Amino acid sequence: MAINNGVASIKSTEGDIRRLLLHSEDYETKVSVKSKASVAKGQFVKMDSILADSGEISPVSGQVVAVDKDSITIRNGRPSLISQGTQLQVEAQSLVLRGDNYY
C-alpha cells in the first residue's frame, strides 16, 4: 500500500472473514474529454461506452468516480462473465471476489 500511496478499507463481517479494499490512483483511468460528459459520478460503465457528447469512449469497465470539465475518472473494475439467469447473492456493500461462488 505504501508503494502506490493507497487508502485501505477493511470491512469486518460476521465470523473471521475480512476483506480488504484498496483505493489508489493506480486503479483509476483518466479520460480527457472535449465536450460535456454524458455520464455521471457513481455510474457504472463498460469498455467502449460513450463518455461524452464529443464521442470519447471508455477504455476500461468500472465506476465513474469523478467528472470534471475536461476529464472523466473511472475506477477500474474486474468484469465477471456469468451465465444468463444466474443470481448473485451478496450483502449490500459487500465485495465480490474472483473465486466466490455464484448461485
- Residue 68: domain span: 27-76
**Does 93 fall in a domain?**
no
Contact 74, 45 (CB under 8 A): yes
How many distinct structural domains can be found in the chain? Answer: 1
**Does 95 fall in a domain?**
no
- 27: helix, coil or strand? helix
**Does 82 fall in a domain?**
no
**Does 40 fall in a domain?**
yes
Query: Given the C-alpha cell 463518455, which residue does it identify?
Result: 51
Contact 103, 97 (CB under 8 A): no
pTM here is 0.67
The three three-digit cell numbers of residue 96, written as one number: 465480490
**Does 94 fall in a domain?**
no
- 5: helix, coil or strand? coil
Residue 85, Ramachandran bin (φ over 0: left; ψ between -120 and 50: alpha; else beta) = left
**Does 69 fall in a domain?**
yes
pLDDT in tens, 6-59: 555 555 556 555 555 666 777 899 999 999 999 999 999 999 999 999 999 999
